[in-house]
C-alpha cells in the first residue's frame, strides 16, 4: 500500500468529484519504481470506477499518462507523483475527467487559441515546493489544447536524463527539446513567455488612476487594498504577483496565523485584492517613473500608465556574489534556493556562501541531503543566531571557513569547484565540489528609478513616517525602502501607511 489511510480517505472524497471516465495508460518495467508506480495506479483504480487502466509503451518507463476516453490528453507523469506532486496527480485526474480548473475563462481562451505544437517536459524533485505550480499549469495547457503535451519527470527516477540534460535546478522546463525556463512560473507567466499576454496598446488606453501601486508583494497588496477601500481608482502593476513570498516555504511569524506556506498566503492576498476591484496588471515590469501633470509609469513593453499618486513597492531580490562563474553556471550548479534545488545535489559536495541566518539555515538543510557542505563567510565570524550555529556545529558533514573571500566559481560545462582567499594569510584555496548556494542577502529592486527619487547608498528608497518619498505624490513601502527590518508583516504595515499617506495627499491636492 503506497498511500496511507488518511491520504486515502481524503483522496476518496476528491475522486468522487470526477465528472467523467479517465484512462491511465501505464508503461511499466520490472524495476522497483515501476513496481511502486503500478501499486499506486492499482490503488487509484480500486478507489474509483471512473478510473480505467491500460498497459502501454510510452516514451519513458516507468510513466503513465492521464487521458480522456478515446482521446490522448497527453498529461504524463514519469516516475511516481507523490510528495509535493501528489496534488498535481489529483488535479490531473479531476480536470481530465471534465472538472473545470480554477483558471479565468480569459486564460483558458488564450490556451485554446494557441496554434503551435508544444511538447513540454518538466524536471522536478518531489520535495520541491515550486514545482507543482509549473506542473499543474502545463497540465492545464495540455488538457485544453490538443496540440500541447506535457510530461512531469521526477529527476530522482531519471538520473541519467537529468545528468545528460544538465538539469541542476528544479523545476526546469524544456519546450520541444530546448530549455524553456527554470523556477516557479504561473500559467499566466508561461503564456506571456509564449507571447500571448496583453499587448501595450491595451494598457496604454487605461484611464488615469488615483493610486497606482508598482509591485505586487505583501507591501503592494496591502497598499492596494487600503487605497481601494477608500473608493478611489486603484491599479497594481507586478512583475510577478506575490513577490518573495512565492519563494517562501514555511511562514510562522505572520501574526494570528501559526503556520502557512508562501503560495497559500499569496493566493489569499490575490483574492483579497480582487475583492475590491483593483485593476491587477500582472507580469508587467515598470522601467521609468516621471512626474509631469500626473505621474507617469512606463512599462517594459512601452505602455505608459498615468496616476495622481504612485506607491512603489518593488521589494528586493537575492544578492549576487558577483564573482567569475556565478552568471555562467546559474542553474548549472549555482543555486539560490536550498529547499528547491537541494535534492538535486544528493550525495554531492556543495558550498554555501554566506554565514547569516539564511546561509546557515540553508547549510543545515543541505547537510541532510548532500555528502558535504562547506560554509564560506567573508567576516571573521558567522552572523547567524547562536541557536542555528549550535545546530550547524553538531553536524558531522559541515566545514565552516570564516574570513574568506570567494574569488571564483569554477567549472567546465557545470560547477566543479570554488576558489577563495583566506583574508588573514592571503593564501588562495580551491575546494572541489558540484554545487554553490549563494545566500548573502537581498538587494532592493530600485535601479529603474535612477535619480528620480532619493535613495540610500544601498539603493533603498528614503521615506518619511507617512511613506512619502521626496517626490510629491510618490510614496513607497516594504523591502525597497530604508525600513529597518524586512518582513512580511512589516511590509504590509508600511503598504497601509503609504496608501493612507497617498489618500491624504489626494485630499489636500
Ligand X SMILES: Cc1cc2nc3c(=O)[nH]c(=O)nc-3n(C[C@H](O)[C@H](O)[C@H](O)COP(=O)(O)OP(=O)(O)OC[C@H]3O[C@@H](n4cnc5c(N)ncnc54)[C@H](O)[C@@H]3O)c2cc1C
Binding to ligand X by residue 244, rule CB under 6 A?
yes
Query: What's the min distance (Å) between Cβ of 263 and ligand X?
Result: 12
Is 210 marked as binding a ligand?
A: yes
Query: What's the min distance (Å) between Cβ of 151 and ligand X?
Result: 29
Is 98 marked as binding a ligand?
A: no
Residue (of 339, 505, 366, 360) closest to 434 by Cα position:
366
Binding to ligand X by residue 374, rule CB under 6 A?
no
Binding to ligand X by residue 236, rule CB under 6 A?
no
Q: Which of 133, 239, 326, 377 binds ligand X (CB under 6 A)?
A: 239
Residues in the chain: 509
Distance CA 430, CA 404 (A): 12
Residue owning grid cell 503564456: 191
Is 443 marked as binding a ligand?
A: no
| Alpha carbon distances (Å) from 373 to 369, 370, 418 | 10, 7, 12
Q: Which stretch binds ligand X (CB under 6 A): 44-52, 108-116, 147-155, 217-225?
A: 217-225
Residue (of 55, 128, 53) closest to 86 by Cα position:
128
User: What are the cell numbers at 258?
Assistant: 501559526
How many residues bind ligand X, per CB under 6 A?
34
Binding to ligand X by residue 316, rule CB under 6 A?
yes
Q: Which of 74, 247, 349, 460 binds ligand X (CB under 6 A)?
A: 247
User: What are the cell numbers at 332?
Assistant: 548549472
Binding to ligand X by residue 329, rule CB under 6 A?
no
Residue (of 479, 469, 480) closest to 502 by Cα position:
469
- Which positions are catalytic? 337, 340-341
Question: Which residues 6+ apart lie within 8 Å of 507 measured at CB?
Answer: none
Q: Please report, as residue ranges, which positions from 461 to 490 form the binding site for ligand X (by CB under 6 A).
A: 478-479, 486-489
Q: Which of 78, 92, 214, 289 binds ligand X (CB under 6 A)?
A: 214
* Beta carbons of 90 and 82 less than 8 angstroms apart: no
* Beta carbons of 140 and 111 less than 8 angstroms apart: yes
The residue nearest ligand X at its CB is 315
**Dihedral-angle region of residue 7 (phi above 0 means left; psi in -120 to 50 means alpha; beta otherwise):** alpha
Is 380 marked as binding a ligand?
A: no
Is 351 marked as binding a ligand?
A: yes
Distance CA 499, CA 389 (A): 40
* Beta carbons of 27 and 76 less than 8 angstroms apart: no
Q: Which stretch binds ligand X (CB under 6 A): 54-62, 312-320, 321-329, 404-412?
A: 312-320
Binding pattern for the stretch 435-454 against ligand X, x by CB under 6 A and - elsewhere: ----------x--x------
Binding to ligand X by residue 289, rule CB under 6 A?
no
Binding to ligand X by residue 215, rule CB under 6 A?
yes
The annotation places the binding site for FAD at: 210-225, 469-479
- Interface residues toward ligand X, by CB under 6 A: 214-220, 237-241, 243-245, 247-248, 251, 253, 285-286, 313-316, 445, 448, 478-479, 486-489, 491
Amino acid at each position: 500500500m503506497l498511500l496511507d489511510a488518511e491520504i486515502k480517505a481524503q483522496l476518496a472524497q476528491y475522486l468522487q468529484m470526477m465528472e467523467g471516465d479517465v484512462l491511465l495508460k501505464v508503461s511499466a518495467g520490472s524495476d522497483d519504481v515501476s513496481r511502486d508506480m503500478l501499486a499506486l495506479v492499482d490503488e487509484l483504480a480500486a478507489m474509483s470506477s471512473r478510473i480505467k487502466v491500460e498497459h502501454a509503451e510510452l516514451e519513458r518507463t516507468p510513466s503513465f499518462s492521464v487521458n480522456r476516453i478515446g482521446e490522448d490528453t497527453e498529461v504524463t507523469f514519469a516516475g511516481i507523483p507523490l510528495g509535493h506532486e501528489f496534488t498535481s496527480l489529483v488535479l490531473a485526474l479531476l480536470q481530465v475527467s471534465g472538472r473545470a480548473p480554477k483558471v479565468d475563462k480569459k486564460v483558458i481562451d488564450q490556451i485554446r487559441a494557441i496554434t503551435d505544437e508544444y511538447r513540454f517536459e518538466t524536471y522536478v524533485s518531489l520535495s520541491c515546493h515550486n514545482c507543482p505550480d509549473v506542473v499543474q499549469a502545463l497540465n492545464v495547457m495540455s488538457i485544453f489544447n490538443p496540440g500541447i503535451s506535457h510530461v512531469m519527470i521526477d529527476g530522482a527516477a531519471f538520473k541519467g536524463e537529468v545528468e545528460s540534460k544538465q538539469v541542476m535546478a528544479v523545476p526546469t522546463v524544456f519546450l520541444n527539446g530546448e530549455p524553456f525556463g527554470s523556477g516557479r512560473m504561473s500559467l499566466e507567466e508561461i503564456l506571456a513567455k509564449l507571447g500571448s499576454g496583453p499587448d501595450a496598446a491595451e494598457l496604454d488606453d487605461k484611464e488615469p488612476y488615483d493610486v497606482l501601486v508598482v509591485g505586487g508583494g505583501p507591501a503592494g497588496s496591502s497598499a492596494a487594498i487600503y487605497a481601494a477601500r477608500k473608493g478611489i481608482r486603484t491599479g497594481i502593476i507586478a512583475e510577478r504577483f506575490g513577490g518573495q513570498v512565492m519563494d517562501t516555504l514555511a511562514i510562522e511569524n505572520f501574526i494570528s496565523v501559526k503556520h502557512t506556506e508562501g503560495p497559500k498566503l499569496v493566493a489569499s492576498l490575490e483574492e483579497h485584492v480582487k475583492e475590491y476591484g483593483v485593476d491587477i496588471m500582472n507580469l508587467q515590469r515598470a522601467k521609468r517613473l516621471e512626474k509631469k501633470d500626473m505621474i507617469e509609469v512606463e512599462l517594459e513593453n512601452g505602455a505608459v500608465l498615468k496616476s495622481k499618486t504612485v506607491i512603489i513597492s518593488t521589494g528586493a531580490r537575492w544578492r549576487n556574489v558577483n564573482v567569475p562563474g556565478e552568471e555562467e553556471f546559474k542553474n548549472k550548479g549555482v543555486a539560490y534556493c536550498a529547499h528547491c534545488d537541494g535534492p538535486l545535489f544528493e550525495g554531492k559536495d556543495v558550498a554555501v556562501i554566506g554565514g547569516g541566518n539564511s546561509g546557515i539555515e540553508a547549510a543545515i538543510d543541505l547537510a541532510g541531503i548532500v555528502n558535504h557542505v562547506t560554509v564560506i563567510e567573508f567576516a571573521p565570524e558567522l552572523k547567524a543566531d547562536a541557536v542555528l550555529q549550535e545546530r550547524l556545529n553538531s553536524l558531522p558533514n559541515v566545514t565552516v571557513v570564516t574570513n574568506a573571500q570567494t574569488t571564483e566559481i569554477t567549472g567546465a560545462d557545470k560547477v566543479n569547484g570554488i576558489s577563495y582567499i583566506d583574508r588573514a594569510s592571503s593564501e588562495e584555496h580551491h575546494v572541489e565540489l558540484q554545487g554553490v548556494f549563494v545566500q548573502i542577502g537581498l538587494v532592493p529592486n530600485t535601479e529603474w528609478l535612477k535619480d528620480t527619487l532619493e535613495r540610500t547608498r544601498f539603493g533603498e528608497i528614503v521615506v518619511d513616517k507617512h511613506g512619502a518619498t521626496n517626490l510629491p505624490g510618490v510614496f513607497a513601502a516594504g523591502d525597497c525602502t530604508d525600513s529597518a527590518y524586512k518582513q512580511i508583516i512589516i511590509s504590509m504595515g508600511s503598504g497601509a501607511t503609504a496608501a493612507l499617506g497617498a489618500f491624504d495627499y489626494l485630499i489636500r491636492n
